[in-house]
Each structure stands twice: as C-alpha cells, then as structure tokens.
C-alpha cells in the first residue's frame, strides 16, 4: 500500500527532516511510527500526501508513483488518505455532524446521503448521541473520535493519525487506540505516529522508529527487527 524507497527530504534552510528512509507497508496493516518530537514523523505524512516533495527517493501509494503525480490527480490521492491531526482542525462554529459532513459536501454528495453517512460514522466511533453538539461542548476523547469520523468520511484506504492520544488521559488514550484497531480490522491500513511507547507495547503492532530523520528500527509483531 505504501513504499518509501531511499527517501530524503531537505528543507530550504538546510534541515534534513528525512534521511534515506526505506520501508514498505502492506494493505490492511497497522503500523506505529515512533520517535521523539522532531524525528520526522509528521514529515512522512506530508510526503505521503504530496504536500512536500522528497529531495531524493521514490514514494508509492496504492502502487502509484506520487512524486511525479500530475496536479489534477492530487485530490484523488488525498481522498485515499484520511488524516487525523493532533490539533483537531475542527470548525468550532459547526456541530459535530456538520464537521464530519463537510468532507462529503466538498465531494459533491447529496444532502440525504450526507445525513445517512454521517450517522453511520458517528455510530462507528461511538458518538451517535453527539451529532448536534459543538466541539466546545464535548470532551477531548470525543473531539478525537469526531476527527477520526471526519477522516473516514471519504472512505480512505489509509488512515494516518498524528499523535492521536497526545492530550488524553491513559484510559481515554486506550479507548482511541482500540477504535483505531477496530477500524484497521474493517480493512483500512492504519498508521499511527506517536511518542507514547507504553501504548505501542500494549498494542503489539509493527513499529517504525525514527531518530533525526533516519529509520533506526523496523520491528514486526513477532519482535524481529
């Protein structure tokens, strides 16, 4: 589903965010991307979504070379990747349901279809009774569930969650991780960027560890590196 082949990203100021990184992720796999703040985790996502171009190297998403992708095909690529950002990026003057439905509006779905799909997504993330509330009226865990539902609205093949438990207590964090695990078991490839090693150990999934832009560990579920 995702291939990075000797990918390096150097910014204009000379900072090397990603340094000769190579890995392959299979369809329906669940993978943690770990490392300290500034290790390059978020840069990987932005490269994957073609928000950044690599300085060198090759990137494939769903068997397609995205480095040379034509601009008109970028929306199609980004519909394949649902992104869950640490700062939520919700519209605070819209309800939970309206925030989720906005993606479907942009994609041109009819109102009746939007309402039906939003309710299905809310049920999936355990938020059926929160549709008409505003973001300021719900908890941090519920905000994260809303963001996950919104990311799933376009039926992406890949879900990338960037520090999805960073501001949550331990119990709520585990609930969010269980939700992501459930989504993965429904067939979505899930990548979770986190520095929470305790959560990673509890889930027992594959782990890619970055340090100063380099991939220093690729450890599978069997513990082999």
Sequence spans of domains, the chain: 2-80+156-219
Give the pLDDT band (50/70/90) at residue 221.
low
CA distance 166 to 162: 9
Q: 3-state DSSP call for residue 197?
A: helix
| Percent above pLDDT 70 for the chain | 98
Most confident of 18-32, 169-183, 188-202: 18-32
Tens digit of each residue's pLDDT (9 = 90 or more) over 138-192: 999 999 999 999 999 989 999 999 989 887 888 999 999 999 999 999 999 999 9
Q: How many CB atoms lie within 10 A of CB 185?
A: 11
CA distance 139 to 142: 5
Q: How far apart are the first and last CA of the chain?
A: 21
Q: 3-state DSSP call for residue 99?
A: helix
| Percent above pLDDT 90 for the chain | 73
Residue 122 has pLDDT above 60, yes or no: yes
Give CA torsion, residues 48, 187, 76, 73, to 10 deg. 60
The CA-based angle 73-79-82, given to 5 degrees, is 140
Q: What beta strand segments (E) does 101-205 contain?
A: 158-162, 189-194
CATH superfamily placement of domain 2-80+156-219 = P-loop containing nucleotide triphosphate hydrolases (3.40.50.300)
Residue 157 DSSP code: S
Cβ proximity of 91 and 143 under 8 Å: no
Mean pLDDT of the residues in the chain: 92
Residue 225 has pLDDT above 60, yes or no: no
CA distance 54 to 48: 10
Q: How many CB atoms lie within 10 A of CB 216?
A: 12
Tens digit of each residue's pLDDT (9 = 90 or more) over 66-90: 999 998 999 889 889 999 987 888 9
Cβ proximity of 112 and 133 under 8 Å: no
CA distance 86 to 144: 9
Cβ proximity of 102 and 92 under 8 Å: no
């Amino acid at each position: 589903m995702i291939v990075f082949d000797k990918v390096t990203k150097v910014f204009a100021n000379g900072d090397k965010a990603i340094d000769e990184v190579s890995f392959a992720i299979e369809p329906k796999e669940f993978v943690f991307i770990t490392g300290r703040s500034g290790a390059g985790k978020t840069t990987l996502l932005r490269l994957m979504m073609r928000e950044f171009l690599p300085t060198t190297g090759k990137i494939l998403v769903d068997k397609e070379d995205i480095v040379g992708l034509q601009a008109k095909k970028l929306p199609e690529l980004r519909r394949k990747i649902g992104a869950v950002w640490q700062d939520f990026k919700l519209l605070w003057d819209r309800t939970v349901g309206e925030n989720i439905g906005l993606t479907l509006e942009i994609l041109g779905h009819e109102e009746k279809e939007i309402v039906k799909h939003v309710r299905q997504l809310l049920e999936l993330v355990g938020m059926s009774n929160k549709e008409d509330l505003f973001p300021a009226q719900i908890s941090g865990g519920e905000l994260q569930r809303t963001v996950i539902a919104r990311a799933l609205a376009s039926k992406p093949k890949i879900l990338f969650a960037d520090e999805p438990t960073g501001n949550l207590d331990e119990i709520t964090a585990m609930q969010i991780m269980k939700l992501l695990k459930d989504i993965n078991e429904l067939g979505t490839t899930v990548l979770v960027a986190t520095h929470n090693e305790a959560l990673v150990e509890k889930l027992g999934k594959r782990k890619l560890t970055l340090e100063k832009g380099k991939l220093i560990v690729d450890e599978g579920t069997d513990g082999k590196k």
